[in-house]
Structure 1
C-alpha cells in the first residue's frame, strides 16, 4: 500500500462547514464487511445494530480553546498561535504552531488580549512541531489557565472558511467530553446526543471510556509514498482498569466491541495483551495503523468520512478492507455525504 492508493476526488462542496441541525440526525452509511452490503440510514438508527452486553468505546477527551491571536512587538503584526502541548506547567512552556511562521524569530515577544495582559516569548524555533513559547504572566497557574481560556477560541479545523460562531463551542465537543487536553475533537463521537446515549443504555449497551488527547499529528499530511516511513506525532493516552474490565467482559461473552472513532481504535490497539485483551495504559502513543493490519480488540467501528491521503482513511482501509472502503467512499461522494469533522458518519460492521 502506497500513499497514492489513498487519493480520491473529493468535491469541495462536500466538506461540511456546519454540523447537522441535530447531533443524531446526520446521515449514517452502514458498511457490512462480510457481505459488502452498504445501507443508508440516519445516525440515530445505530440503535438497531446493537444489543444488550455490546460495548461502545468512547474517547472522553475534551477540546480546549487552543487558537489564540496575538500581536508581534514593534510591528503589531497579527499572529495566530495554536497551542499544541504544554511542556512545563511551572515555567509555562508550550509547543505551538504560529502563522505566518516566517515572521517569528527566537526572542520575539507576542502580546495577547486588548489589555496585553498576556505576553509570550519565543524561546525555540526549531522543534519539529513548530515553536516553543514561554508565557509571561503575573498570577497563579490557575489564573494563567483561566486567561488562556478567556483569550482562546474553539479550534475548528482550518478547512472551515467561516469564522467561529458561539455554537461551535458546544458542537465541536462530544457530550461526554470530560478530560481536557485535545486540540481537535474525536469527531465520530459528535453524533451522539444525550437522548441517543440514554436509549442505547436502556437497550443494555455498555460504555467504556478511554482518553486519547488528540494533537495535530492525527491530521499531519503524509509526505512519503512508502507508508512504513511515516512517523505519527505522539499523543497522550489513558486507559483505566475499569474500561479494560468492561471491554474484556464483552470479548469473553462474544459481544460486539465498537470503537467510536479512529482515536478510540488507536487507543485500544496501543495496549493489547498477548491474549488479545485490553490492558490499562498511562503514557504516550504514536501508533500508526495502515493496511495490512490485524486488529485485536474491536470488531466494529463508527467513523466520519476522511480526507484523501489521510492517516485516518488508511486506518479505515485496514479495518474494512481497501476495496470495500474505496467503494464506500465512491458511493459517499455520489450520494452527497458530508465529509470531515462536521460531516456524516459510517458504521463498519
Structure 2
C-alpha cells in the first residue's frame, strides 16, 4: 500500500459559503473541568463506559456491552492507522534542547536510502543555527542526524540521515523517537503509552495522533462482534497534528481545516455496498474518510487522487440528495470496472451543522474538547442534542478526551 501523509498547510481550494459566517464557534462550547479529563488510560481497554444515544434518549452502558447495541449484519468500519514516534529531541552544540515533530514526508514515494526530508514543527527553532547539524545516538548505536533545508511558514523542511541503511525511517523513529501524546495531556509519554495509545488492529504507520475511538477495542471484543454476525471493515487515514488545532476565529468562515490523506480498500467498499444493517463509523477519522469519499464521488464520479475541499459538505446542501446505498454501489462498480484496489484521496472536509451525515447511520466517538471541529462533527451527527449528551456525561462522571470513555451515537 502506498504511504499517505497529512499536509498540514490545509489550504482549502473552495471559498467559505455565507452559511459558515453564521456559525459561531462559541455556540459549541461547554465547561470542561480538568478533573473530567482522562490523563491516563484505565487499567484495561474494555473498562470504559459507553454512552448510547438512540431514539432521542440517553442510555448509560459499558463498553463490554457493545455487542448488545448492535445487530447481525451491522458493519463497523475502523481506521487502522498506526501512531509513529514522531517527536525527536536533539541538543545543539551550545546545549539547547530542540524538539523536532515529524509531520509528513516531502516525497512519500521516494525510496528511503538512509536520507529523507520531512516537514516538521520545531520547538526552540531560534536556538538552532541554520548550518548546524544535530545528532542523536541510541544505546544500540543507531545514529540520526538532522539538518534544516528551508522553511514554509511555521513548518521546517528537515533532512534526516542515519547510519543503518537496513532501517526504514519508521524504524528509526521507533528506535529514537517519542510518542506524540495530545498536548492537553500535558505530560511526557510513559511506558504504558506505547501500547495503550495504539489500537490493537493498527498496522499502517503514519499518524501523529491516535484514532482514539478504537482504543477501547480488544481482540476478544472484535471476536465477539464477529460471532454475533457484525461485519468488520478497515480503512486508513493518517491523523495529522491539525486534529488538535483550535478554532480561534469567531465563526467558521475564518477557520482553515487541516488536510489529511485517506485510503479505502476494495474489500471495505464491497462491505459498504452490500451492508444489510447499519453502518457504524468507529471514530471521527473514519467518518471523515467515508463522508469525503461519498461526497466527492457523488459530485465528480472520481475515486483516484481526489481532493475534498473544506466546504464540500456545506456546498452540497442545496444540491441533489445523496442516496448512500446507491453511491456505495456506484463506487464498487467503478472500482471493479477500472480494476482499482483502493480509493485514495486527500480531504480538508469540515463536517458541521446544518449538514446531515450521509455515509453512516451511527458513530462511535470519545468526548471532545469545547469549541473544536470534532465537537462540530458530533453536532452534525445528533444536532442540538449534543448539549444534553455532554451535560449528562459530565454529571455521570464520564472521562473525557483521548484516554476517556466513549459513546455510540445513532443518527
SS of residue in 1 equivalent to 2:27: helix
Tell whether the 8 Å contact from 1:111 to 1:118 is kept in structure 2 after alignment. Answer: yes
Of 67, 72, 83 in structure 2, the residue corresponding to residue 52 of structure 1 is 72
Distance 1:183 1:108, change over 3 A: same
Q: 2:87 aligns with which of 62, 67, 72?
A: 67
Q: Which runs of 5+ in 2 are unaligned?
A: 1-22, 299-322, 332-341
- The Cα shift of 1:195 comes to 1.0
Of the three residues 364, 372, 389, the one matched with 1:328 is: 389
Structure 1: give runs of 5+ residues left out of the alignment: none
Deviating more after overlay: 116-125 vs 169-178: 116-125
2: CA distance, partners of 1:245 / 1:105: 53
After TM superposition, list the pairs within 5 Å mapping 1:260-271 onto structure 2. 260-271=282-293
CA distance in structure 1 between the partners assigned to 2:346 and 2:405 by the alignment: 29
Tell me if structure 2 keeps the 8 A contact 1:107–1:123: no
Note closer, same or farther for the CA distance 1:348–1:159 as it changes in structure 2 (3 Å cut). Answer: same
Q: CA deviation at 1:105?
A: 5.4
Matches within 5 A, 1:158-197: 158-197=183-222
Q: CA RMSD in A?
A: 1.8
Is the Cα–Cα contact under 8 Å of residues 106 and 125 in structure 1 kept in the other structure?
no
Q: Please state if 1:126 is matched with 2:152.
A: yes
Matches within 5 A, 1:19-168: 19-32=41-54, 34-35=55-56, 37-72=57-92, 74-88=93-107, 89=110, 90=112, 91-104=115-128, 106-113=130-137, 117-128=143-154, 130-140=155-165, 142-168=167-193
Question: Which residue of the partner structure matches residue 283 of structure 1?
Answer: 345
The answer on whether the counterparts of 1:29 and 1:39 sit within 8 Å (CA) in structure 2 is: yes
* TM-score where L is the length of structure 1: 0.92
Q: Runs ≥4 in structure 1, deviation > 4 angstroms?
A: none
Supply the distance in 2 between the matched residues of 1:147 and 1:208 (Cα, whole angstroms). 30
Aligned length: 341
Verify the 8 A CA contact 1:288 1:311 in the aligned structure 2. yes
Local SS of the residue matching 2:160: strand
- Cα distance in structure 2, aligned partners of 1:240 and 1:264: 13
Please give the secondary structure, in 1, of the residue aligned with 2:82: strand
Post-superposition Cα deviations, 1:136-156, rounded to whole Å, max 9, x if no partner, equal 334426354432221112222
| 2:364 counterpart residue number | 302
- Is residue 231–residue 288 contact of structure 1 (8 Å, CA) maintained in 2? no
Q: What are the superposed Cα offsets for residues 253-304 of structure 1, whole Å, 9 maximum, x if unpaired?
A: 3x10000000000000011143433345213211111111122220101000
- Conserved? CA contact 1:30–1:41, under 8 Å: yes
